């Protein structure tokens, strides 16, 4: 339990930058549904950011995890390990910047964005800088500097939000108030300003890392023995990382090519907006990941197994609580996006469960990282990629974006099962499978009960209607109270069987026996 408290503390600190920070960043996407000109523009935004996620994986090529692996090995000089990682990623990122700016117009036409090569160039430069920044940020995590890590990421997100508001909110106001001063502003550029704001914030992150001086604590250069070891360890992770990212983004990359309707970007915009609603789960998974990997690597052999099993169980528990909160209060949460996008809300439950299995898969993956069998991760991810690709090709033309959501769910269920089966063979960990399954079944039962409950909110087209005198007493308030009771029952079961109140940080001290 002491180890879990350490993990919980670090998860909370990293959560300041990943959960809270990503929450603020996440707020931008629903806001875009109100300020961008159309669903098609939001579809382009969704498509481009799917490509950027893939490119970051390519440009880091597993070096982040390789960094953790060899920085904690006493056989190697830490400064040389750090310097080799920095030099390698810096070189490949610089080459990528030259290539993408040269081919920007061609790429823009090929992806269906028209004459917007500038969007491609801006995002290409942003991705290259972001990939390089992954290594000094990993250095901060490895050196147990979560506060500095959190500050830099929060500051970057703050800069991004500021310039988004500046370009998309304040500038249109200033055009009306002071048109003579705003001749440079082009309202039709719209989604392009989102990419400009992202570039500015990424440059700010690079500047903060340079000011921190952490990059100067490395022996720069390609130190051959270390470089060879890093590549041997990390290249399988490149396949794993690329396949893993494609499992998450391939649907958004392929959708414009697979959908047979008139405006594929319009449908992709609806899918992307509703997908964003479910990304609360991704924020929690990401925060957990930042703390989990260095935490487990630092344990001794037997403690690694026990802590990994315990952490996986608690990850599932808190993930189910998030899913229950999202689905039982979806009638309120849906107002985060424009009503023009509500037709896609049916994908939200599917995406949430996909994120649950994605997080479980990440927890299970620790076995092949600890045993240096990273090639298994590549195999699993490639299997998932095949499932994602085949199901998208089969389902998207028939059922549009619901096909994307179902393909993602099938992918993560299968690779989670594969990782568990092979992990128990090569590095058996005593996961509490029965307890985890019971919590999953309990969560599913609560959702089913809420769906057949007589306390339902009839479809409301506006927030004012939802809280109107006519609705609030007859449907809104009874529905809220009944759902709170249902979630409380689940939490009570957790407190009874797995998380005594006395063991909870801060709060627990009031319940401990004197």
Contact predicate 195/48, CB 8 Å: yes
What is the DSSP code string of 394-418? Answer: HHHHHHTHHHHHHHHHHHHHHHHHH
pLDDT at 97 over 60: yes
pLDDT bucket at 388, cuts 50 / 70 / 90: very high
Residues 364-389, mean pLDDT to the nearest whole number: 84
pLDDT at 512 over 60: no
pLDDT at 224 over 70: yes
pLDDT bucket at 507, cuts 50 / 70 / 90: very low
Of 74 and 351, the one with more pLDDT: 351
What are 5-37's pLDDT values in tens digits?
555 555 556 656 666 666 777 788 889 999 887
> What's the pLDDT at 149?
83
Residues 124-130, mean pLDDT to the nearest whole number: 94
> What's the pLDDT at 486?
92
Task: Report the range out of 188-202, 226-240, 260-274, 286-300 with the highest average pLDDT.
Answer: 188-202
Contact predicate 355/278, CB 8 Å: yes
| Residue among 279, 250, 288, 249 at smallest CA distance from 366 | 288
Rg (CA), the chain: 24
> What's the pLDDT at 14?
60
> What's the pLDDT at 285?
74
Of 56 and 179, the one with more pLDDT: 56
Question: Angle CA(247)–CA(251)–CA(257) in degrees, nearest 5?
Answer: 140
Mean pLDDT computed over every residue of the chain: 83
| Residue among 316, 281, 331, 324 at smallest CA distance from 488 | 324
> What's the pLDDT at 387?
94
The span from the first CA to the last CA of the chain, in angstroms, equals 20
Of 470 and 426, the one with more pLDDT: 426
> What's the pLDDT at 8?
55
Share of the chain above pLDDT 90, in %: 32
Three-state SS for 139? helix
What are 254-302's pLDDT values in tens digits?
998 898 766 888 899 999 999 988 887 777 777 676 666 666 655 555 5
What are 389-406's pLDDT values in tens digits?
999 999 999 999 999 999
Contact predicate 75/121, CB 8 Å: no
Question: How many of the other CB atoms lie within 10 Å of CB of 358?
Answer: 24
The predicted model scores a pTM of 0.80
Percent helix, strand, coil in the chain, to 5, is: 85, 0, 15
pLDDT bucket at 330, cuts 50 / 70 / 90: confident
CA 195 → CA 48, 127, 160, 163, 250, distances in Å?
Answer: 10, 11, 10, 10, 21
Phi-psi region of 144 (alpha: psi -120 to 50; beta: other; left: phi over 0): left
What are 401-424's pLDDT values in tens digits?
999 999 999 999 999 999 999 989
């Amino acid at each position: 339990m002491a180890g879990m408290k350490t993990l919980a503390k670090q998860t909370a600190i990293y959560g300041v930058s990943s959960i809270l920070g990503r929450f603020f960043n996440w707020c931008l996407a629903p806001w875009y549904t109100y300020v961008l000109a159309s669903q098609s523009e939001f579809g382009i935004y969704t498509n481009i950011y799917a490509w950027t996620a893939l490119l970051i994986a390519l440009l880091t090529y597993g070096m982040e995890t390789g960094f953790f692996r060899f920085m904690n090995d006493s056989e190697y000089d830490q400064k040389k390990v750090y310097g080799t990682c920095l030099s390698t990623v810096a070189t490949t990122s610089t080459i990528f910047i030259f290539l993408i700016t040269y081919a920007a117009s061609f790429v823009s036409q090929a992806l269906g964005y028209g004459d917007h090569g500038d969007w491609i160039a801006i995002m290409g430069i942003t991705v290259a800088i972001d990939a390089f920044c992954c290594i000094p940020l990993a250095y901060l995590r490895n050196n147990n500097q979560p506060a500095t890590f959190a500050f830099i990421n929060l500051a970057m997100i703050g800069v991004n939000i500021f310039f988004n508001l500046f370009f998309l909110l304040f500038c249109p106001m200033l055009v009306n108030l002071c048109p003579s001063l705003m001749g440079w502003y082009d309202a039709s550029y719209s989604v392009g300003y989102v990419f400009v704001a992202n570039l500015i914030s990424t440059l700010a992150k690079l500047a903060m890392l340079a000011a921190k001086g952490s990059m100067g604590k490395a022996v720069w250069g390609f130190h051959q023995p270390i470089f060879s070891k890093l590549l041997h360890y990390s290249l399988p992770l490149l396949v794993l990382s690329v396949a893993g990212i494609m499992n998450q983004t391939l649907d958004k990359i392929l959708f414009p090519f697979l959908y047979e309707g008139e405006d594929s970007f319009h449908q992709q915009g609806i899918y992307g907006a509703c997908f964003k609603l479910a990304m609360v789960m991704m924020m929690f998974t990401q925060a957990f990941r930042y703390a989990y990997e260095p935490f487990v690597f630092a344990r001794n052999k037997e403690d690694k197994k026990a802590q990994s099993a315990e952490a996986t169980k608690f990850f599932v528990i808190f993930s189910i609580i998030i899913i229950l909160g999202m689905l039982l209060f979806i009638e309120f949460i849906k107002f985060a996006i424009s009503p023009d996008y509500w037709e896609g809300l049916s994908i939200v439950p599917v995406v949430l469960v996909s994120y649950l299995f994605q997080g479980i898969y990440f927890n299970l993956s620790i076995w092949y990282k600890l045993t240096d069998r990273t090639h298994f991760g590549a195999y699993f991810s490639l299997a998932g990629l095949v499932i994602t690709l085949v199901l998208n090709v089969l389902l998207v033309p028939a059922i549009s974006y619901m096909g994307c959501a179902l393909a993602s769910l099938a992918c993560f269920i299968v690779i989670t099962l594969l990782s568990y089966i092979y992990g128990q063979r090569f590095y058996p960990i005593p996961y509490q499978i029965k307890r985890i399954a019971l919590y999953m079944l309990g969560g599913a039962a609560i959702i089913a009960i809420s769906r057949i409950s007589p306390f339902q909110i009839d479809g409301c087209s506006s927030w004012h209607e939802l809280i109107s005198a006519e609705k609030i007493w007859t449907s809104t308030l009874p529905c809220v109270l009944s759902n709170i009771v249902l979630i409380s029952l689940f939490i009570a079961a957790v407190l009874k069987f797995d998380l005594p109140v006395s063991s909870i940080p801060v709060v627990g001290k009031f319940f401990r026996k004197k």
